[in-house]
Amino acid sequence: MKAFSAQLHQRIRRSPNVESFRFIADQSFDFLPGQFCQVIFDTSNPNNKEANKYLSFSSSPTKNYFEVTKKLSTSIFSNRLRSLKKGDKVSFKAPFGNCVFKDSFKKVGFLIGGIGITPVISILEYIVDKDINTDALLLYSNSTEEDIAFKQELDTWQSRNRRIRVIFTVTSCQPQDERCERGYIDKELLHKKTDDVKERIFYIFGPPKMVDAMKNICLESECVAENIKIENFVGY
């Protein structure tokens, strides 16, 4: 783990209330796809949980920048992010987390809702950049199609790499895109989209309730328990 500062390079809107922040670090540091960092706005009090929070990397470690992404709210932390301008410096600590991707994994799956997509982006972008021969299946649920963050990137990656499949689902309306499913991620949808759950390593990222629900779906679907990797977004 390393403490360092980084300069804001770019802000990117991902959906109406989700935004990415790309930074250039003042010194080199390493992280693995799937890991996260601590963003520190209150350097005088590291225990200030209102101003200092953990965010997943939403970029591949192959890039010359690193990116974090947040669903912005009215919280102190969100307002600090919202106020950032290009060139502003922010303090970080990284890396954290053991829910990571390894190049040797041949088949992986992701059961994800909403902002849980951020570490998945880091993993999939890494697979694409390194041209790794991994079969990756992503089931990604949102309330509406407008809420789907990183949709352009995900569409591009699966069009370029036949080993990547993305299944979008929406829960609050009938999707306009015929490639998008209506409804929640459940056992039926998982088995509809793949018949090799026992061969896959499954990743589940997100708030605890979402993580628990997706873990139960995995277990009910006869996924191998040891192959289920979870990361709770506590205090998000």
Segments making up each domain of the chain, as ranges: 2-96, 107-232
CA angle, 145 then 185 then 230, to 5°? 110
Tell me the DSSP string of 79-145: HHHHT--TT-EEEEEEEE-S----TT--EEEEEEEGGGGHHHHHHHHHHHHHT---EEEEEEEESSG
Residue 76 CA, distance from chain mean position: 22
Spatial distance between the Cα atoms of 148 and 146, rounded to a whole number of angstroms: 6
Answer whether 0.85 is exceeded by the pTM.
yes
CATH number of 107-232: 3.40.50.80
Q: Is 85 exposed, middle or buried (0-12, 13-18, 19+ CB in 10 A)?
A: exposed
Digitized pLDDT (tens) for each residue of the chain, 236 residues in all:
899 999 999 999 999 999 999 999 999 999 999 999 999 999 999 899 999 999 999 999 999 999 999 999 999 999 999 999 999 999 999 999 999 999 999 999 999 999 999 999 999 999 999 999 999 999 999 999 999 999 999 999 999 999 999 999 999 877 677 777 888 999 999 999 999 999 999 999 999 999 999 999 999 999 999 999 999 997 65
CA distance 119 to 140: 13
Task: For domain 2-96, give the CATH number.
Answer: 2.40.30.10
* Residue 220 token pair: 């009910």
